[in-house]
Structure formats: C-alpha cells, structure tokens
C-alpha cells in the first residue's frame, strides 16, 4: 500500500531530494551566499544561472560539502538529503560525496590513465566484483560521457594528454561511474564544442530518469533546453527559483528579466 501511494505521488509532484534552508556561506569576512532556500527535486534537472561571481559554484559546493576543503569557508543553514542533515556530525562527508557526485568547472583529470581515471571511484567504493565488471563500468561510463569512441583505442594513455573538452567529458564519465544519486555539474560544457555539448545534454536528460542533476551554466539556451527548474542567483542572493519555462518566459523579478535578456551580467 505504502509503495502504491509513493508511486502515485511521484506522478504529480516529485519528491524533494535535497532541501536547503537559510543557507549562508562566508569566505572569511566575505558573505558569499545569503539566505538561500532551494529545493532540489528528485529525477529533475535544476539549473543555476547568474552573473559571474554571484556564488553559483559556492552554493553548488555546499551540496556535497566540498567547501569543507577550503579553510576559510564557513557554511551555515540546513541541508537535508532525503530528510537527513548532511552537515550533521554523524554524517561522513566521504560517504556523502559518493552519493552526491561532482563535475568541476575546470577539468581536473588525475595523472593516471584514462581507464584508471574512470575506474577510480568504482575501485574506492568497491563497486566491481572483478576485472570484467570494472571494464564494463568503465566502458558504460565513457559512453555516457560521450567520449568512448575517441578513447577506446587508448584507454591506457594518460588522461592528462587529452584535449580540454575531452578532459571535461572524461571527468563527467568519472563522476557518473560511481553512480551518484545527485550529480552536481559546474559549467560542464564551457569547454565543449556544440556536438559534445549536445551529447552531454543528452546524457543529462538520460540521467534524469534515475537521478537528480544540478547544473551551473552561463548559457541561457542550455538552461532552457535541459532543465525543469531554474534558480537565478545575483550577488549571493537567490533572486528567483521556479519552473524553467516560467522563469524564461515570465520572470517575476525585474533582475531576472534583465539578466536573461542580457542587460545585466
């Protein structure tokens, strides 16, 4: 019975995967994120847009506690993943990051072979029972990262030897390989050509059937194409958050309108 009711609910309103309330982030004295409230829904693509330096990356990094690695960063507020506070003392950030994966703004492949880059996560988390399974995970992930065709003959060449765009897709494949429940992508397409961008967008759409995806982008078209929800940040504030269609056609806040029509940036 219980199962039935859940399925029914998913049809109309989706479950909330990540609930963020009254979030503040400080870098030393710099108040970078102010009073942000966002609900990331399950099986949805949420886009963060906003001018450079408004705090999109900063907020994204709060969602998997990557800000812990920055000494001067201080995070306040409540972040609940499936109803559980991720900043609770009992939560292991390492475990959390396995569930909430991340693709960074700048490609950062490890100084290892392409294969080892992708196999890194599965190996750490013991996702493969044997070599054959690992091979399979690697191939599947590289295919989903839209880079398999380019690298299948040189899986053991160093990942750092790829072009910038290839490296970024390798990082996407690497993040997908650990099967995260939420995937955070910080401008994943900024170094990609239109073909690879289309492939990554396809991947995002594909991921949506099972995970929730948060994507930071500077391309309005991309946000409109891939996302169902859009959040507009400005100077550390969340100005507007809602259905993508509504934000792009009928924004409530004048600042949002100016930004998407290209008047502030």
Partner 1 sequence: MPILWLILIVFAIAAVGFFLGRSRALHSSGGDSRGLHSLPFYYGANVALKTAVPAFGLMIIWLLVQPLYVNSQVSEMIPDSAVKEGSSRSLVMAEVRRTASGLNNAIAQGHLTEDMVNNARADITDMTQRLKDAGQVVTAEITQPVLRAAQSYRTLTSTGYSIMNVGVILVALLGAGAGWLQTSSEYRARNVVEQGVSVLLFGAASIAILTTIGIVLSLVFNTWEFFKLYPATEFFFGTTWAPSFSGRGGSSSLGIIPLLWGTFYISLVALLVAVPIGLFAAIYLSEYASPRVRSFAKPMLEVLAGIPTIVYGLFALLTVGPLLLGVFGDEGLGWMKAGTAVMTAGLVMGIMLIPFVSSLSDDIINAVPQAMRDGSYGLGATQSETIRQVVLPAALPGIVGAILLAASRAIGETMIVVLGAGAAARLSLNPFEAMTTVTAKIVSQLTGDADFASPEALVAFALGMTLFILTLGLNIFALYIVRKYREQYE
Please report, as ranges, the residues that interact with partner 1 according to CB under 8 A: 64, 66, 69, 71, 94-99, 101-102, 104, 106, 108-112, 120-121, 124-125, 158, 160, 171, 174-175, 178
Which whole-number Å values give the CA distances from 10 to 1, 3, 15, 206, in the listed order?
15, 11, 7, 18
53 binds ligand ATP (CB under 6 A): yes
58 binds ligand ATP (CB under 6 A): yes
Among 2, 52, 130, 209, binds ligand ATP (CB under 6 A): 52
17 binds ligand ATP (CB under 6 A): no
Pattern of binders to Mg ion over 19-58, x per CB under 5 A?
Answer: --------------------------------------x-
Pattern of binders to ligand ATP over 94-133, x per CB under 6 A?
Answer: -----------x----------------------------
Query: Which of ligand ATP, partner 1, Mg ion, none does residue 160 bind to, with CB < 5 to 8 Å depending on kind?
Result: partner 1
* CA nearest to 207, candidates 247, 230, 236, 176: 176
Minimal distance, residue 80 CB to partner 1, in Å: 19
**Closest residue to Mg ion: CB criterion:** 57
Q: Compute how many residues bind Mg ion; rule: CB under 5 A.
A: 2
Query: Between 179 and 186, whose beta carbon lies closer to Mg ion?
Result: 186
């Amino acid at each position: 019975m219980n199962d039935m009711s859940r399925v029914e609910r998913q049809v109309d309103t989706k479950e909330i995967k990540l609930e963020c309330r009254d979030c503040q982030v400080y870098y030393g004295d710099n108040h970078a994120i102010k009073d942000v409230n966002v609900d990331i829904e399950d099986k949805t693509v949420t886009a963060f847009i906003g001018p450079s330096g408004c705090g999109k990356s900063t907020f994204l990094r709060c969602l998997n506690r990557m800000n812990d690695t920055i000494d001067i960063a201080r995070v306040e507020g409540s972040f609940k993943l499936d109803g559980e506070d991720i900043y609770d003392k009992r939560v292991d950030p390492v475990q959390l990051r396995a569930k909430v994966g991340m693709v960074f703004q700048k490609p950062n492949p490890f100084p290892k072979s392409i294969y080892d880059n992708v196999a890194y996560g599965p190996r750490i988390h013991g996702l493969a029972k044997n070599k054959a399974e690992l091979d399979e995970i690697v191939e599947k992930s590289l295919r989903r990262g839209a880079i398999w065709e380019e690298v299948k003959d040189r899986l053991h060449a160093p990942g750092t030897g790829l072009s910038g765009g290839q490296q970024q897709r390798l990082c996407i494949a690497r993040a997908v390989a650990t099967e995260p429940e939420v995937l955070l992508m910080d401008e994943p397409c900024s170094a990609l050509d239109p073909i690879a961008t289309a492939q990554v967008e396809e991947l995002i759409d594909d991921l949506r059937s099972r995970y929730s995806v948060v994507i930071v982008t500077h391309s309005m078209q991309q946000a409109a194409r891939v996302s169902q929800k859009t959040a507009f940040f400005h100077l550390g504030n969340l100005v507007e958050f809602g259905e993508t269609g509504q934000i792009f056609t009928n924004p409530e806040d004048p600042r949002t309108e100016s930004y998407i029509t290209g008047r502030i940036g």
